Amino acid sequence: MEALPEDEEYTYREVVLPSLIPVVPEPELERESGERRRGRDVIVAVDHGPNSKHAFDWALVHFCRLADTLHLVHAVSSVKNDVVYETSQALLEKLAVEAFQVTMVKSVARVIEGDAGKAICKEAERLKPAAVIMGTRGRSLVRSVLQGSVSEYCFHNCKSAPVIIVPGTEAGDESIVDWKRSDSKP
C-alpha cells in the first residue's frame, strides 16, 4: 500500500449518534491551577470483528479519561451503499453508547470510504489525536507479513499520532492457558 497523497480528498459520512447519550458537560476548573482540564482527541478504528471490539474495550479501560473525545472511525468500500452505511451506523451507535456508559466520554463517529489504512491515516492527519488505537486482524506473523495488514500500514505511515495496536484476545488467552498447563505439571 502506498501513502495517500496530501491533496487527495476522501469521502466520508458523519454518523448522527442517538439522542439518548447525554451531552457531557465541560470539566470543572482544577483546584490547584485554576485552569480548565482539556480533553484529548482519541481515534479508535473499529470494524465488526472481535479483535476490534477488544481494542475498543482496551481503549476505554486503559486510555480514555473523562474529558476526552472518542472518534470512532470505520472504513467501508462505499458510503453511498445504504445497507453498508446502516450496518456501520448501527455498530458505531452501539459503541458510542457503551463508551458513554463505561467512561462517560463524548463520542464522534465517522464512516469513511476507501482503503482502511489510508483512510485512518488521513483522519489522524486531520484530527491530530493523542493516539490512534486499533486491533490486530488475528493472522499469524508470516501471513501478516506476506499479505500486509491495516494495523501494520498505519503503524508505518501514520505520522501525526502514535499508533497503539492492541493484540487480539485469542493470542493472550492461549498464552495464559499454556502457562497454566506448564505450571501445573510436576
* Stretch among 14-18, 83-87, 174-178 having the lowest mean pLDDT: 174-178
Q: How confident is residue 9, by pLDDT bands cut at 50, 70 and 90?
A: low
> Is residue 12 very low, low, confident or very high in pLDDT (cuts 50, 70, 90)?
confident
Residue 72 clears pLDDT 60, i.e. is over it? yes
Residue 178 lies in a domain: no
* Distance, CA of 21 to CA of 17 (rounded, Å): 8
86 — phi, psi (to 5°)?
Answer: -65, -35
pLDDT value, residue 182: 36
Range of the domain at 53: 38-136+147-172
Distance (Å, whole) CA 38 – CA 36: 6
Domain membership flag for residue 7:
no
Asked if residue 138 has pLDDT above 80, the reply is no
- What is the reported pLDDT for 36? 46
pLDDT for 117 equals: 92
Confirm whether 163 is domain-assigned. yes
On the question of pLDDT at 96 being above 50, the answer is: yes
CATH of the domain at 87: 3.40.50.620
pLDDT at 126: 94
Give whichever of 30-39, 80-89, 138-147 has the largest mean pLDDT: 80-89
Classify residue 120: in a domain, yes or no: yes
Q: pLDDT, tens digit, for every residue of 14-66?
A: 777 766 565 555 555 555 554 445 789 999 999 998 999 999 999 999 999 88
Whole-number Å distance between alpha carbons of 55 and 99 = 12
Q: Identify the pLDDT of residue 39.
A: 86
Instruction: Label each residue of the chain as H, E or C.
Output: CCCCCCCCCCCEEEECCCCCCCCCCCCCECCCCCCECCCCEEEEECCCCHHHHHHHHHHHHHHCCCCCEEEEEEEECCCCCHHHHHHHHHHHHHHHHHHHHHHCCEEEEEEEECCHHHHHHHHHHHHCCCEEEEECCCCCHHHHHHHCCHHHHHHHHCCCCCEEEECCHHHHHHHHHHHHHHHHCC
Phi, psi of 115 (to 5 degrees): -60, 130
Q: Mean pLDDT score of the chain, rounded to an integer?
A: 78
> Is 52 inside a domain boundary?
yes
The model carries a pTM of 0.73
Q: Is residue 186 part of a domain?
A: no
Tell me, yes or no, whether 124 lies in a domain.
yes
Structurally, how many domains does the chain consist of?
A: 1
| Residue of higher predicted confidence among 165 and 138 | 165
Residue 177 counted as domain residue: no
